[in-house]
Each structure stands twice: as C-alpha cells, then as structure tokens.
Amino acid sequence: MSAHELHLQANDGHQITGYHWQQPDSKAVILLLHGMTEHAARYRSFAETLNKAGYSVVAPNHRGHGPHIPQQQLGWFAESNGWQKVLGDISLVHSFVTDLYPDIPVILMGHSMGSFLAQAWLLNRPEPVSGTILSGSNFAPRLLLKLGKLVAILENARQGTNGHSKLIDTLSFGSYNNAFKPVRTPFDWLSRDSAEVNKYIEDPLCGFLCTNVMWLDLFNGLLSITSIKALKNIDNRLPFYIFGGSKDPVGQQGKGLKQLANSLSKAGSDSITLEIWPEGRHEMLNETNRQEVVIKLLQWLDQQVQNFRSTEAENHG
C-alpha cells in the first residue's frame, strides 16, 4: 500500500513532514517515532507489513531529519528548546491521528532516539495512548549522561551551536563498532544484514553529523527521563513492549533494556514485556531475523487491541 505524505504546521511555522500508511478498517494506529540521523521513509517495509496485519501507521520526520529540509539543517532541532519543540510536534501529530481515527487504539512506538522522545512525551501527558513500544532503547547511567552534556556544552562554546563536533561523534556513534571488530563499515553495529547496512550508508539522509546544539538537546532530554522519579509520571496502566538485540551497543548489550524494564516496574508500571533477541544488533526491524521479530511484535499488538475492545465493551455494558 502506498503511503500518503504527511504535512502539518507547528505553532512556530515549522513544517512537519512524514508518511501515513493507511489501512481501511484499522484495528489500531501506530504513531511511529524514528531514531537519530535517519528518517521515517526507512520504515516503509515495516509499515506495509503492519498494514497487511490490519494496522495503520503514521510516521513523522523529526526536526532536522528527512527530505524536505535544507542540507545545513540536518541534525538540528532548533536554536533553543529543540527537545520541547519536537515533543510539541509529536502532540500535533497525535491530534491528527486521533481526529482521523477517533474510536481505535493509538499505540506509540519509538526507535532509539524515538524511544527516548516517546518516554519524554508520555511524562504528564493527558493525550491517550493504549500502549507503547520501545525499540533499541536504553536506561543509561546518569553520570554518563551528565558527562555527555558537559562535553556538548564545551563543544557548543568552542564551535558554536551549529558546529559539528567530531569529538562527540567519536565518543558516541564512533564507539559503537568496537565490539564488532574487524568491521566492514563504520555502521556494522546497526545490523548483521550487510545489505541493510549498505542501504543506510548509501542514503544521504542517514548517518550525518548532528549539530552541537542537538546533542545538548538530546542529553538534556535523556536526563529528564532517566530516573525512576521521572518515570513515575507515566500512567502506570500503560502497557510497554520493550525489544532490542543482545549485541546492541546503544542498549549496553541488553543490560540497558533490562534496566529500563526494571525502572519502569519500580516506577509502578504493571504491564511490561521485554524481548531481547540473541545476537541482534541495533535495528531489529532490519536484522536477519526481522520476520520473527515482527511476528512477536504483532502478537503483542493484537493482545492490546483485544484488551482495548474488552475494556470498551465493559464501559458500554
């Protein structure tokens, strides 16, 4: 099924673009948030599989990502309050989704940076969602995040907000390949499927250097969600599906995913499913066993739809 293009305007004039893979008589709609230095169109194959299973998908491009922005704005949220502005964009897309699909569940899904945005968006949010999927996520030590923030502050001072710090890139993405040496490319950590890694490398809208101010936005955003105190602000009835690879450097080889699930549980969440795929790397939807990964994900989604319908029936009974 071909995607409709998404075009919405934020309060500050920013044009939100993205895609809408619409399935008639949808069981639910997935609001999908992509990761850092990639874009929504990469999820086409996954969205089409979801369509076949009866789900619609809406995937916006975050600020500084995707095809409709000047090259110099890649990897740049905003001059100030970028993280908050992206969260505001998610609210706008959520309103679009609920207006279009008023009577079916909305499931929030985020991959990597998108999973952090999803958590930040859920803090104190009145807008209803029926479940959350977190892919390639983490619950990093706060000390590490504070050090990252300090480096970002220093690099902003040294190079300016629009500078591109090789140092930050080396400390983050640059270190991810270390566990996979000898490596074929700088992005072997993404997937065991070399064809998928090649596609990422050949895509001019992937793998670019982010601006110093965006790194600062990210570290501030991560510090705002990476504590049990913060996670207590998420509705504890909300079901979570957390999945990733046991060799994903972003999720500390599965350790960060377990930490995230444990922290949500300590914060009061009572429905958490954790799936760590043996030998899987960062992008489980592009992994060699992606079919198996999607089947498990669909089983969880179908269960949420069933739960939603049961609750609706009880409420109207």
Please give the Cα distance from 315 to 317 (Å, whole number).
6
Residue 70, preceding peptide bond in cis (omega within 30° of 0)? no
> CA-CA-CA-CA torsion for 302, 113, 258, 245, nearest 10 degrees?
80
Q: Which two tokens stand for residue 240?
A: 């979570």
Q: Please report which residue ranges of the chain form alpha helices under DSSP H.
A: 44-52, 82-100, 113-122, 142-159, 166-171, 194-202, 212-225, 228-231, 255-266, 290-316
**How many CB atoms sit inside 10 A of residue 267's CB?**
16
Sheet holding 28-33, edge to edge: 4-9, 15-21, 55-60, 28-33, 106-111, 131-135, 240-245, 272-277
**How confident is the model at residue 1, as a pLDDT?**
58
Q: Chain-centre distance of CA 23, in angstroms?
A: 22
Residue 235's contacts (CB-CB under 8 Å, 6 or more residues apart) are 122
Q: Which two tokens stand for residue 26?
A: 């949808």
Please give the Cα distance from 204 to 216 (Å, whole number).
24
Residue type, 199: K
Closest residue by Cα to residue 88 from 107, 62, 59:
62
**How many CB atoms sit inside 10 A of residue 36's CB?**
23
**How confident is the model at residue 57, as a pLDDT?**
98
Q: Tens digit of pLDDT per residue, the chain (317 long)? A: 568 999 999 999 999 999 999 998 999 999 999 999 999 999 999 999 999 999 999 999 999 999 988 877 899 999 999 999 999 999 999 999 999 999 899 999 999 999 999 999 999 776 789 999 999 999 999 999 999 999 999 999 999 999 999 999 888 888 899 999 999 999 999 999 999 999 999 999 999 999 999 999 999 999 999 999 999 999 999 999 999 999 999 999 999 999 999 999 999 999 999 999 999 999 999 999 999 999 999 999 999 999 888 887 777 76
**CB–CB of 234/203 below 8 Å?**
no
Residue type, 74: L
**CB–CB of 43/32 below 8 Å?**
yes
Closest residue by Cα to residue 199 from 185, 182, 181:
185
CA atoms within a 13 Å half-sphere pointing along the CA-CB vector of 58: 24
**Domain spans of the chain, in order of start:** 4-142+225-316
- Does CATH number 3.30.390.30 belong to domain 4-142+225-316? no
3-class state of residue 60 by DSSP? strand
Paired sense of beta strands 240-245 and 131-135, if any: parallel
